[in-house]
Amino acid sequence: MIEVSPETRWTKRYCRVQIRRGDGWNVKPGADRIDGKCFWFTPGWHMTDEDTSIYVGEWAMSFSDPIAVSTEHPDAPGWIASGDLVEIAPMRSAK
């Protein structure tokens, strides 16, 4: 899971998508096609029980370049839960 702190809130991260499977996890349509691929992500919002029942406490990670992702993977989800990402490169400022 990607850790986000106030100091790293606006920091891009290069991550591999690693979708959780089994134990009741449903894979969203389009997520299978990006599973195992790497993208730059930026933290979107911290999810609470008002947002979701299964990702509480995780971050909704937005693609840092959503146009490029949607062009190559038009059915990709708009965001990925931080628990479905593995960070593979050092962080860099998104500002």
Those residues whose C-beta lies under 8 Å from the C-beta of residue 58, and which sit 6 or more positions away, are 1, 46, 47, 81, 82, 83
Residue 95: pLDDT over 60 = no
Q: Is residue 1 part of a domain?
A: no
Q: Per-residue pLDDT tens for 12-39? A: 889 999 998 877 777 887 888 899 999 9
Domain span holding position 69: 6-93
What was the pLDDT predicted at 36?
A: 94
pTM: 0.82
The number of domains in the chain is 1
Q: What percent of the chain is modeled with pLDDT above 90?
A: 39
What was the pLDDT predicted at 32?
A: 87
C-alpha torsion 37→50→53→84, nearest 10: 20
What average pLDDT does the structure give for the chain? 85
Distance (Å, rounded) from C-alpha 66 to C-alpha 34? 13
What was the pLDDT predicted at 90?
A: 62
